[in-house]
Structure 1
Amino acid sequence: MKVAIVGAGFSGIEVAHRLRAAGHTFTIFERADDVGGVWQHNTYPGAACDVPSYLYSFSWAQRRDWSRPCSPQAEIQRYLREVAEADGILPHIRFGTEIDETRWDETALTWTLSSADGETHSADALVLACGQLTRPAFPQIPGMEQFAGPAFHSAQWDHDVDLTGRRIAVIGTGASAVQFVPEIAKQAARVDVYQRSAPYMMPRRNPVYPRAVRTAIRRVPGLQKLRRYGMWGVMETFILGYTKARPLKAAFRLWSTSFMRLQLRDREVRRKVWPRHEFGCKRILFSSAYLPALQRPNVEVVTDRVQRIEPDAVIAADGTRREVDAIVWGTGFHADEPVAPMKVHGSGGQELQAAWDGGARAHLGITVAGFPNLFLMYGPNTNLGVGSIIVMIEAQAGYVLSALGLLRGGGAGASAGRRALSVRPEVESASTDAVQQRLDGSVWTQCQSWYRKDGDGRVVGNWPGFMLEYVRLVEQADSRDFDLLTTR
């Protein structure tokens, strides 16, 4: 099979690793100039993973020399490049190539990809490894385009801008802001943090590994595997609390609120940043530096919404005018539109985003009815409230190879000629309906979040169960789930 992969982050590299081992031909198209995906783009101060690296890494490419439990961005990006190079994947990547349209040819049973530079490419199968957190989201605020100073999104950090001694407005308090606010607060004259919704926090100190620990990890047989599966178990326990065991969830909430009370000595700041939503319905954030940073004398938390922006100031809804020199947008991503703005045209010319009008959906988060030989990585309803997405990605890649194996080996009743698999509409409907039934009334429906379509619609991001459950569910593609398309 000739396979096209869009995206050279964790998902793209994982699929490429599996394809190469199975003897398929593949090309990865990556718009950036290096591998890494989200870890290549997000270079803001303090950027790091909040899942320990011994689990947030490939099972087949384990490192025993991580500098600390939750590795910083540069270390993760370097790991991905080293893996891609060692595995022979780098020569198969076309960097600086953005795919803006793909189209299924019903006669030839092939995908045609069109890149932004006008080139076209053909493939038997298409894997979209674009990720959910790739397209920065900006709020629509009157006057924002008139701001005279530097203004940039956390995922597009402008390192040429020196924030030392400057007045900065940070708009948004999600996972990125929790990491970069403590860093910029150390150097800025003043930081105004505009908060729409306060997150629940959990501790994360993340010290550098002592030499003795590094030596033990490197030399003690089985220790790395023990750590890896131990952390997997801890995260599955969190998921159990989210989904089934209410007393366990109450215990986790008590842990979070106790930690926050200990850190929030300033009563006024505590009042402002105390969460008002259900525990777990938004992403729980891990930091032991964020809440102390909000209590620094040069930091102010603003809970009034931003009414407008002037060339040199941000105006809040209460009329307060705060002069600023720079704006940093910590406003997240368009997570509910995982392949946009790329256009994907399937059978009959139907466009994927149109098919997803009520919210993205896919059988097992991987295949979509009407889009033959198309496979999604980190697709709809495969995100985790707590856990390592790498576990999900590896499972999905295995499913993709299993599906391609049905075509290669004729397991779906294939005959001579080109072949394609199209998941049956009733299979997709049954699969997605079952997921939504489990999500109805779950913690993830209790507030607005990026897990949901347009913030308050159906849950399109999260998987409703355990990581292990999903791994077992996608272990083998079932030929009965697909219609077989052939040419002669």
Structure 2
Amino acid sequence: MSGRKRKESASVRENVLDVAVIGGGFAGIGAAIRLKQRGIDDFAIFERGTAIGGTWRDNTYPGAACDIPSRLYSYSFAPNPDWSHTYSGSNEILGYIESMAAEFGLHPHFRFGSDVTGIAFDEAAGIWDITIEGRAGTVRARTVVLASGPLANASLPPIRGIDTYTGHKIHSARWDHDYDFTGKRVAVVGTGASAVQIIPELVDRAASVKVFQRTPGWVLPRVNRRTNPLTKQLYRRVPAAESLARRAWFYEHESVALGVVWNTPLTRVVEMVGKAQLHRQVKDPWLRRQLTPDFRAGCKRLLMTDDYYPALQRDNCKLITWPIARISEDGIRTAEGVEHRADCIVFATGFDVSKTGTPIPIAGRDGRVLAEEWARGAYAYKSVAVSGYPNLFFTFGPNSGPGHNSALVYMEAQIDYLVRAIETILDRDLRMLDVRRDRQDRYNAAIQRKLTATTWNSGCRSWYLTEDGFNATMYPGFATQYVGQLRALDLDDYHVVPSGASTTRPRIAAVS
């Protein structure tokens, strides 16, 4: 609030929240912290679970960890000098999230068990009506931060026969810690980022592990060193030293963009590192061939691990590259007719990322429905706002995915931008702050034009793309460019409507 008193608005008199934050993970907590730091306290965090943490609360599978250095996978405004390793495990990351909530006094703002099932904009009042499962009526808020994240929902894949399987099924994002793998025959479907962390752990426990691979990925080394106690002490006493270390990690990762975002000579260097790792760790030529990608490095997510290749070569582990035809009562049947019996199938098949449609129903001005507008691919202005949906802001929205740097760098920039926008709405008592359609269209045309030159659009299939090849996920540039475009809130990019203004205006055309 910068020392000034915010004038009382209609929302105070009508018992309407200033801000509703949907989601209690990294993004929701980051937004809540920045709101409090700007003197905005009238907000609630609606979390469908019974505890905070989001993705890191839900992903507790064996070996779960981040593949971005901890010093960089944290907020600059909430540094943690006590990270135990270069790359921290899920428990430590969740502990960091919980410590932020406690340090900044966020617990009173949480509404646990609040599964938001839809939001609709009341244009006459400039208010969002929020529907919560099992609750009569709606919660009303002047502004909404949709912080549910892209990795919030997970389900079993639509493989034929999956409902007929009589063994135990586990999804990596919904791990069953009560199941004992000792002496069991285990099948793992998937070889992505979660799978390469899970498989080494299962090989240590199970009698046998069969890994079903559709496409091999580029695997790069991950050197995970324990943090020296003297380093922790230095960072506690001299915060500037930790800030400098974080900056060094940031620029090191920025340089990686030249090899993985675009197809350049440095892309060959990345591939050489991956092939060297493969040759060093896998001695069998046929297995090496099965594990060699046929696409450019960066086209799919890079896999950071030193344990995956050795695990595949253990006596009790076998790589299966035949396509899965169906799941039978007793296991998995592959295309050549072999049935692989399994006591348990682990589906490390990722998340239901919303590249089309929306995670919840969202109704905006003039009866617009965002899921219909996003049916062919999601889009937004600077990933944060969508024309026709005033006072609504996204974290980790369309085209804000990094292929080379920390997601939290991007998220922090989004949070600071949307908090400035919310502060403007409240301080000026605006009814609507609605991004202009022409600015949004111009921005997204430029994004899609730049994406054509990236490795993500170079021909491989990945979760970054829709079925027809539209990239609604990734940002085609450096993190410094993305952060730079969000440093200032330019009101010329928006329709600014004061609370007392007439509702008469031209209708907004929906996207066809």
- 1:11 deviates by 0.7
Matches within 5 A, 1:381-392: 381-392=399-410
- 1:215 deviates by 4.2
CA distance in 2, matches of 1:13, 1:307: 43
Residue 371 of structure 2 aligns to a residue in which SS? helix
CA distance in 2, matches of 1:324, 1:244: 41
The code of the aligned residue for 1:19 comes to: L
8 A Cα contact 2:260 2:404, kept in partner: no
8 A Cα contact 2:263 2:454, kept in partner: no
- 1:273 deviates by 1.3
For residue 450 of structure 1, the aligned residue among 421, 438, 463 is 463
CA deviations on 1:179-222 (whole Å, 9 max, x unpaired) are: 11100111111111111111101111413334444445445664
The code of the aligned residue for 2:479 comes to: M
CA distance in 2, matches of 1:106, 1:214: 52
For residue 419 of structure 2, the aligned residue among 387, 398, 401 is 401
Deviates most, 213-222 or 186-195: 213-222
The code of the aligned residue for 2:300 comes to: K
Matches within 5 A, 1:81-480: 81-119=98-136, 120-219=138-237, 222-243=240-261, 246-337=264-355, 340-410=358-428, 418-446=430-458, 447-454=460-467, 456-480=468-492
The code of the aligned residue for 2:292 comes to: W
Residue 100 of structure 2 aligns to a residue in which SS? helix
Question: Structure 1 409/94 Cα, relative in aligned 2: closer, same or farther at 3 Å?
Answer: closer
CA distance in 1, matches of 2:263, 2:237: 38
The code of the aligned residue for 1:449 comes to: S
8 A Cα contact 1:407 1:419, kept in partner: yes
CA deviations on 1:448-473 (whole Å, 9 max, x unpaired) are: 1111123x511111111111111110
Partner of 2:39: 23
8 A Cα contact 2:355 2:472, kept in partner: no
- 1:159 deviates by 0.8
The code of the aligned residue for 2:35 comes to: L
Gapped runs of 5+ residues in structure 2?
1-16, 501-512
Q: Taking every aligned residue pair, what percent have the same amino acid on both sides?
A: 38
Deviates most, 419-428 or 371-380: 419-428
* TM-score normalised to structure 1 length: 0.95
Partner of 1:68: 85
Q: What is the count of residue pairs matched by the alignment?
A: 481
Query: Are 2:14 and 1:2 equivalent residues in the alignment?
Result: no
CA distance in 1, matches of 2:171, 2:368: 33
Partner of 1:11: 27
8 A Cα contact 2:355 2:465, kept in partner: no
8 A Cα contact 2:18 2:426, kept in partner: no
8 A Cα contact 1:336 1:453, kept in partner: no
CA distance in 2, matches of 1:339, 1:224: 40
Q: CA RMSD in A?
A: 1.7
The code of the aligned residue for 1:3 comes to: V
Deviates most, 146-155 or 243-252: 243-252
8 A Cα contact 1:30 1:95, kept in partner: yes
Residue 121 of structure 2 aligns to a residue in which SS? strand
CA deviations on 1:268-313 (whole Å, 9 max, x unpaired) are: 3212111111111000010000111111111111111111111212
- 1:136 deviates by 1.3
Gapped runs of 5+ residues in structure 1?
411-416
8 A Cα contact 1:337 1:353, kept in partner: no
Question: Structure 1 199/244 Cα, relative in aligned 2: closer, same or farther at 3 Å?
Answer: closer
CA distance in 1, matches of 2:451, 2:173: 30
* TM-score normalised to structure 2 length: 0.91
CA distance in 1, matches of 2:432, 2:498: 6
CA distance in 2, matches of 1:298, 1:312: 19
8 A Cα contact 2:356 2:377, kept in partner: no
Residue 194 of structure 2 aligns to a residue in which SS? helix
Residue 420 of structure 1 aligns to a residue in which SS? strand
Partner of 1:414: none
Partner of 2:58: 41
Deviates most, 98-107 or 238-247: 238-247
Partner of 2:508: none
Deviates most, 3-12 or 396-405: 396-405
CA distance in 1, matches of 2:229, 2:283: 35
Question: Structure 1 418/466 Cα, relative in aligned 2: closer, same or farther at 3 Å?
Answer: closer
- 1:341 deviates by 4.0
Deviates most, 13-22 or 249-258: 249-258
Deviates most, 430-439 or 244-253: 244-253
8 A Cα contact 2:20 2:45, kept in partner: yes
8 A Cα contact 1:132 1:338, kept in partner: no
8 A Cα contact 2:164 2:328, kept in partner: yes
- 1:96 deviates by 1.4
8 A Cα contact 1:406 1:479, kept in partner: no
8 A Cα contact 2:430 2:498, kept in partner: yes
8 A Cα contact 1:269 1:294, kept in partner: no
- 1:243 deviates by 4.2
Deviates most, 344-353 or 421-430: 344-353
8 A Cα contact 2:203 2:311, kept in partner: yes
Residue 175 of structure 1 aligns to a residue in which SS? coil
Question: Structure 1 207/465 Cα, relative in aligned 2: closer, same or farther at 3 Å?
Answer: same
Residue 2 of structure 1 aligns to a residue in which SS? strand
